[in-house]
Amino acid sequence: MTVTDPAPGGETIADRVPSGCPVVHLDASPPLEAGSHWQKANELRETSPVFFNTHAQGYWMFTRYDEVREMYQHPEIFSSESITPWEPEPVYRFVPTQIDPPEHSKYRQLVSRWFAPNAVKRIEPQAHEVARRLVTELAPRGECDVITDFAMRLPTEVFLALIGVPQADADLFVPWVEDFFAGFGGDLAQQEAMGAALGGIRQYWVDVLAARQDDTEEREHDFVSMLLHSTVDGEPLGDALILDILTVLVLAGLDTTRGQLGYLFRHLAENPADRRRLIEEPQLIPSAVEESLRLYTIIFGDGRKVAQDTEFHGCPLSKGDMVYGLVSGANRDPRVYDRPDEFIVDRRSNNHLGFAGGPHRCLGAHLARMVMKVAVEEWLAVVPDFRIASDTPLMERGGGAMMALLSLPVSWEVSA
C-alpha cells in the first residue's frame, strides 16, 4: 500500500515515516465477522511493533504490549486531548476522559471513591437481585438474545442503583444507549436517533439535578447530590461540568459492559467444559472474567495526541500527531502471555490492559468486574447448559468505537 501524495508545499506527517516503519491503510470501523478484529490485531503485531496508518489524516499505530502500556503511562507525551486517532481536533472535551494530569487527578479524586471496590460491594446484593430476576424471567422461554435481553439491561440497572436514581429508569436508558451507539460508528441513517438519544440522556440528568438543587444537605448514597455538594479548587463544579461527567459515565459504562458480557457468554455457549468448570469451581469466575477481558478485548485500540516531539521505538513523533495503541494486539502478545490465543480459565499473571492503564485507568473497572461475575453466577445457576442458536456467523460492530456482538441468539432445554 502506498502513502498518498503530500499537499504541494506542505510537509505531511506521511513524509516523516521512516523506511523501517511499514505503512498500512486500515479503517477498523465496518462491522465484520466476530473475531476478525483480534485476528487483524494479531497479524499487525507479528508484522511490526509500529505502523503508519494512512487512514484519515494518518496516524502511528503501536501493536505490542510494552509499547501500548508505555503510551498509557506517559500522558506527558501522549495526551488525552483527543483519544480518537482519526479525529485530532475534537469539538468536545469529556471529563475526566480528555483531561491530562495534573488537572485530571482533581476530577478522579472526586469520583474514585464512588467506584472503588468498597462502594461496589455495597450494591452487589442488588446486582444479584437484578440478574436473578432477568434470568428467571428468561428461563421458561428456552431461548433469548443475550445481547438485548440480558447483557444490556443488567449493567444499566446496576449502574442506576449505584448512582442512586430509580432502577426502573433502565426502560429509558437502554433504548438511548442503543440509539447512541447505532449512530456512533458513523452510520448516517442513525445520526438523528443518535442526537435525540444524547438529548434524552442530558435532559434526564438536568431533571435529576433540578430536583436536588435546593437541598441544604447532601443525600445519602446519591452520586448527583454528592457532586452538587463537592468543590474543585474551592469552587462548586457547576451544572455544565456535572452534566458532562454524568453523560460520560452513561456512554463509557453501559455499552462497554454489555459488549464484554456478550463475548464472555459466547465463549460459555461454545465451551461446555469451561461452563462445567465454573459451575463446579465458582471461585474461578473472577479469573474467567479477567481472561475474557484479555482474550476478548472490546477495545480494538485507544488513541492519544502527541504533546511533545519524541523518538518512540524508531518513529519520529511530532507534537500534534495522533497515535493508536492496539490494545487488542497487546492483550494477545506472545511476548507476554503463554498460549495467548486460548481462553485459560485459571490463567495466572493476567496483567491485561482491557481497562487501560496509567491515569485514565477505567473508573468503572471494579463495577464492571462485579457485574460480569454476578451475571455468570446467576445465569449458570438457572441455565447451566446453552448453545448458540444461529446458522449464520455472528457479526461484531467495528472497532471504531468498542467492538460488540450485534446479537447473540442462544437456546437451551426447558424442562417440562
Binding at 252: pick from another protein, ligand HEM, none (beta carbon under 5-8 Å per type): ligand HEM
Check: CB of residue 262 under 8 Å from CB of residue 146. Answer: yes
Q: Least CB distance from residue 20 to another protein, whole Å? A: 27
Give how far Cα 58 sits from Cα of 48, 116, 305, Å.
Answer: 17, 38, 12
Region from 20-28, 195-203, 270-278, 349-357 binding ligand HEM, contact rule CB under 6 A: 349-357
Q: Which of 98, 10, 101, 99 is nearest to 58 (CA)?
A: 10
User: Which residues make Cβ contacts (< 8 Å) with residue 317, sequence separation at least 6?
Assistant: 60, 77, 306, 309, 310, 311, 323
Pairing of strands 59-62, 50-53: antiparallel
Using rule CB under 6 A, residue 408 touches ligand HEM: no
Q: In this chain, which of 42, 97, 225, 328 binds ligand HEM, going by CB under 6 A?
A: 97
Q: What is the DSSP letter of 100?
A: P
Binding at 348: pick from another protein, ligand HEM, none (beta carbon under 5-8 Å per type): another protein
Using rule CB under 8 A, residue 365 touches another protein: yes
Site for another protein in 243-302 (CB under 8 A): 286, 290
H or E element at residue 302: strand 302-306
Pairing of strands 322-325, 59-62: parallel
User: Which residues make Cβ contacts (< 8 Å) with residue 5, sequence separation at least 6?
Assistant: none
Please name the residue that has the C-alpha cell 447448559.
Answer: 385
H or E element at residue 190: none
Binding mask 199-238 toward ligand HEM (x if CB under 6 A, else -) reads ----------------------------------------
3-state secondary structure of 149: helix
3-state secondary structure of 385: coil
Q: Least CB distance from residue 404 to ligand HEM, whole Å? A: 10
Q: Least CB distance from residue 275 to ligand HEM, whole Å? A: 20
Q: Least CB distance from residue 401 to another protein, whole Å? A: 22
Binding mask 301-340 toward ligand HEM (x if CB under 6 A, else -) reads -x--------------------------------------
Using rule CB under 6 A, residue 267 touches ligand HEM: no
Q: Which of 160, 162, 303, 266 is nearest to 176 (CA)?
A: 160
Length of the chain: 416
Using rule CB under 8 A, residue 115 touches another protein: yes
Please name the residue that has the C-alpha cell 443475550.
Answer: 146
Using rule CB under 8 A, residue 69 touches another protein: yes
Using rule CB under 6 A, residue 249 touches ligand HEM: yes
Using rule CB under 6 A, residue 389 touches ligand HEM: no
Q: Which long-range contacts (CB under 8 A, 24 or more apart) does 279-282 make?
A: 279/380, 279/384, 282/377
Check: CB of residue 62 under 8 Å from CB of residue 50. Answer: yes
3-state secondary structure of 50: strand
Using rule CB under 8 A, residue 104 touches another protein: no
Using rule CB under 6 A, residue 146 touches ligand HEM: no
Of residues 141 and 361, the one with the C-beta less far from another protein:
361
Residues found near ligand HEM in the complex (CB under 6 A): 83, 96-97, 108, 159, 248-249, 252-253, 256-257, 260, 298-299, 302, 354-356, 360, 362-364, 367-368
Residues found near another protein in the complex (CB under 8 A): 69, 73, 109, 112-113, 115-118, 286, 290, 348-353, 355, 357-359, 361, 365-366
